[in-house]
Amino acid sequence: MSVQFTQFDRFELESGQVLHQVPVAYRTWGELNARGDNAIVICHALTGNTDADEWWSEMIGPGKAVDTHHYFVVCANVIGSPYGSVSPLTVNPQTGEPWGADFPTTTVRDCVSLHRLLLEQLGVTRVAFAIGGSLGGMQVLEWAFHRDLVQGVVPVAVGGRHSAWCIAWSEAQRRAIYGDPRWHDGRYDPADPPASGLAVARMVAMISYRSFEEFDERFGRERSDEGFHAETYLRHQGDKLVDRFDANCYLQLTEIMDTHDVARGRGHYLDVLRSIEQPALVVGVTTDILYPLAEQRELQEYLPKAELAVLDANQGHDGFLIAQEQLGEQVRSWRERVIDPLLGND
């Protein structure tokens, strides 16, 4: 099914600010049963979109880890993304113009709260489990606090709060955009955006998404007339993102990620982790330098019903998008043992 859209007349952010005429883009697969209790929620990463069957093609489908034969699968676009949900690109109904740099501060919790409204509108009464990596994993951990709705969680390549290390990587990317002379404090001409700054931000991000091992094996010191292969790879990645993304949206999403802290306003961090009651499959990647395995081991240690699965992949953080066969087997095995019996699919 193609991308669908809905709109909510009113949505209150965690900050207390109220948005009106709030669009949400989403896709679904499979069929919702009569009880509405066979849903799976997929949460996408920073520059991802609702086309989860494309970027996780080996994960989604009949008989796969996210089994569309037995489950109704929903992937909604996050707040701040340029792919259809409310963002700096959408129109502020009070001004009749795109929000742009005036788009309000939002959080991971806001994304999940908005998506819950969508699930209720679709008739979902129970989510078997929520799954996602990176920014998607942050949403997954927030879904755990919707205990009346969500029965299991699969946070992938993420920790329980955004570390100083991750915040520093995000700030370096933001500074690349701020330094572009076309930035104009976010009030740039859409026809002449800060493309150079956004490209550099993506190049910085790509280094953190991969690993020393992959760069060494893939590029080494090979070069062409255009420069070292590692250089041309990064330039290519930067140019690709500029063709499909918006600078204000990119900044908004990195700031949303910085708000990630399951303990914010809830109590002591480890106590809050201990309060997550649902079965959890915590997945990490051996070579992830952005969200290292120590963060997933921490989640496994303190979440009372957590199992740890490790992706043995040399692609770094992006291993959760690349090593799909391995990830799919880990998730499918956990789902069949832990989640399917709850729905009677054993």
* Active site amino acids: 134, 288, 317
The pairs formed by 145-150 with CB atoms below 8 angstroms and a separation of 24 or more are: 145/262, 145/266, 145/276, 146/112, 146/116, 147/277, 147/278, 149/116, 149/119, 149/124, 149/125, 150/41, 150/278
DSSP letter for each residue of 100-114: GGGPPP--HHHHHHH
Q: Can you name the residues that pair with 308 across neighbouring β-strands?
A: 282
CA distances from 90 to 22, 83, 93, 105, 163 (A): 9, 10, 9, 15, 30
Whole-angstrom Cα distance, residue 17 to residue 111?
A: 14
Whole-angstrom Cα distance, residue 140 to residue 137?
A: 5
Q: Which residues contact 195 (CB under 8 A, 6 or more apart)?
A: 180, 182, 242
Whole-angstrom Cα distance, residue 181 to residue 200?
A: 13
Whole-angstrom Cα distance, residue 291 to residue 330?
A: 19
**Block residue for tokens 């919702």:** 32
Whole-angstrom Cα distance, residue 322 to residue 128?
A: 25
Radius of gyration of the chain (CA): 20
Alpha helices in the chain (DSSP H): 52-55, 108-122, 135-143, 164-178, 195-209, 212-218, 229-244, 247-258, 269-274, 293-302, 319-322, 324-334, 340-343
Please say whether the dihedral angle defined by the alpha carbons of residues 90, 92, 96 and 99, taken in this order, is positive or negative.
negative
Residue among 10, 194, 205 at smallest CA distance from 100? 194
**Block residue for tokens 């080494």:** 220
